[in-house]
Amino acid sequence: MQILVTGGAGFIGGHLAERFVRRGHAVTVLDNFDPYYNVEIKEHNVQAGCDAAEAGNGSYELIEGDVRDDSLVAELVSDVDYVYHQAAQAGVRTSVKKPKKPNSINVAGTMNVLDAARNADIERVVLASSSSVYGKPEYLPYDEGHPTTPVSPYGVSKLAGEQYARVYNEVYGLPTVSLRYFTVYGPRMRPNMAISNFVSRCINGNPPVIFGDGSQTRDFTYIDDVFAANEALLETDAADGEILNIGSTDNIDIKSLAVAVRDQLAPDLDLQFGERNDADAEHTHANISKAHDLIGYEPTTTIREGVEQFIGWYQDNREWYEPLVLSS
């Protein structure tokens, strides 16, 4: 297959690109290398894709550009079978400070991708959405029918993007699927996430810092499970026009997560607490039955297994990854 991964030098996009290459696909990556976090991590994602191609599997091509460039997007989309649209301005807290930026990238950029795809011979556009679209829970776990009342500009922008994808499916017949990710983590993850922060602090003898009282719960989803969901969409058309939750096997409160990391790396450390950000969701928990029924999604990595694997990866890659985490 010919596959375009927008945002393919980022965390999730980088893993998708690398693994699709290893499966023998021809992958084109579009990324603008926005320094939202240290671009050296993105460079390692690119290197992973190049290494996969050099191993004699599929092919990998990097295009440095922006999804807001409609002519470039149209040119790239016209040459592929599938588009995995991962490019976005991430970050709930960042969006509160700069609300226009996620709108320009996550909404206008998404429309560029969708409009290019409806004018091309595309098998499917798979859009990365987020659990941030839900906002304050009326019940848990969230199913896809739960009201969507996001509490951040980021959540609003992701909701708009997935609704445009749904409309392009209904109005133009464009095959689309939107995946609502629930806090994805794993190797080469963004350095400003809770798990990477806890690990980096504990491994250096500093107490993990929890924002709030730690009672907030999260559905942390390991990157291997996220890739499995995306790969399944190469093999079935059962989910066209749908929006699917992609979560984990369980959820955990932030304090217990910090304790689990602390106990594995530096059990003598105390916990520290900071002020909670009001834009952060209080709880997230995914009902994944729809994704299971339509695409056979079955997450296999528990949070404790995933954290253990991430810690092992961190220790093996500490020389290059840790300075980037600590400087974020």
Contact between 20 and 58 under an 8 Å Cβ cutoff? The reply is: yes
Q: Whole-angstrom Cα distance, residue 314 to residue 306?
A: 12
37, 84, 142, 154: the active-site residue: 154
User: Are 37 and 190 contacting, i.e. CB atoms less than 8 angstroms apart?
Assistant: yes
184-185 vs 209-211, strand pairing mode: unpaired
Report the SS3 class of residue 143.
coil
Q: What is the DSSP string of 105-135?
A: IIIIIHHHHHHHHHTS--SEEEEEEEGGGTB
How far apart CA 28 and CA 242 sit, in angstroms, is 25
The residue type of 58 is G
Catalytic status, residue 37: no
Alpha helices in 82-193 (DSSP H): 92-97, 100-102, 110-118, 153-172
For 128, phi then psi, to 5°, come to -80, 115
Residue with tokens 């969708």: 114
User: What would the DSSP string read from start to end of 26-77?
Assistant: EEEEEE---TTS-HHHHHHHHHHHHHHHHTTSSEEEEEE--TT-HHHHHHHH
Q: Cα(211)–Cα(203) distance, rounded to whole angstroms? A: 19
Do residues 207 and 245 touch, judged by C-beta distance below 8 A? no
What is the DSSP pairing of strand 184-185 with strand 221-222? parallel
Known catalytic residues are: 154
